[in-house]
Amino acid sequence: MSTSILSLQQAAIYQRENLVLSSINVAIDKGEFVYLIGKTGSGKSSLMKTLYGDLPLQKGTGRIVGFDLTHLKQKDIPYLRRKLGVVFQDFKLLNDRSVYENLRFVLRATGWKDAKKMHAKIVEVLTKVGMETKDFKMPFQLSGGEQQRIAIARALLNDPELILADEPTGNLDPVTSVEVMNVLKEIHESGKTIVMATHDYALILKFPYKTIKCEGGALFEVVRQQSPSVS
């Protein structure tokens, strides 16, 4: 039986009427960390949006965390997103409420009722990203790196099978990017599957994982050159 958590066959990705990627064949297994790279306009974001149900898959076949993307109905999208953790470049936190209330809002919106269980889950995810002492802060009182850690904590709330991170370090300086990347690395090492769109090649060199490139309307795996080990 296939262990693929995400697979696309002969898929075509459209941004409105424009074909941006065609003949995509890709399979990502449970437990992998995969980078999605490519220049601005190469189709990375459109592919990510298709994976979390923001854009329809118009041609080919696709499955993600057990959902058929080809026949995905509007009413299925909230259920799909409960099995995905999505991390955006611009954090998308609610600025009118505290970190704790941001996370509680998501739990309530996804059907949690028990106040004790909600509290325990919030403490658990904040601890995972090293932000357990910042739960009373408002998002605007936090640095960009801290806000992104909260966004990652939010993505973990419903124990997703797959995390889609769309340029999660795009608004961060190099030092903060490495800190956020270390958080994602730890989450991956705890058993989570992560697909991360990025244009930060320095991070890819520092944290080498399987890399898929969008270029010229196609998608292909980048074969990494083995660099000699430095003792």
Q: Which residues of the chain have pLDDT under 50?
A: 1, 226-231
In this structure, is residue 229 part of a structural domain?
A: no
- Structural domain of 71: 4-222
In this structure, is residue 113 part of a structural domain?
A: yes
pTM of the predicted protein model: 0.90
Q: Cβ-count burial of 24 within 10 angstroms (0-12 exposed, 13-18 middle, 19+ buried)?
A: buried
- Helix, strand, or coil (residue 48): helix
Pairing of strands 210-215, 218-222: antiparallel
pLDDT at 147: 94
Packing angle of the helix pair 115-128, 144-156 (nearest 10 deg): 130
In this structure, is residue 230 part of a structural domain?
A: no
> Residue 109 is part of a domain; what is its CATH number?
3.40.50.300
In this structure, is residue 194 part of a structural domain?
A: yes
In this structure, is residue 143 part of a structural domain?
A: yes
In this structure, is residue 228 part of a structural domain?
A: no
Q: E strands, 17-115, where?
A: 18-29, 33-37, 59-64, 67-68, 84-87
Q: Which of 133, 129, 162, 135 is nearest to 148 (CA)?
A: 129
pLDDT at 110: 86
pLDDT at 228: 42
**DSSP conformation class of 109:** H
Report pLDDT digits (tens) over 10-53: 999 998 888 999 999 999 999 999 999 988 888 888 999 999 99
Query: How many domains, the chain?
Result: 1
In this structure, is residue 202 part of a structural domain?
A: yes
In this structure, is residue 213 part of a structural domain?
A: yes
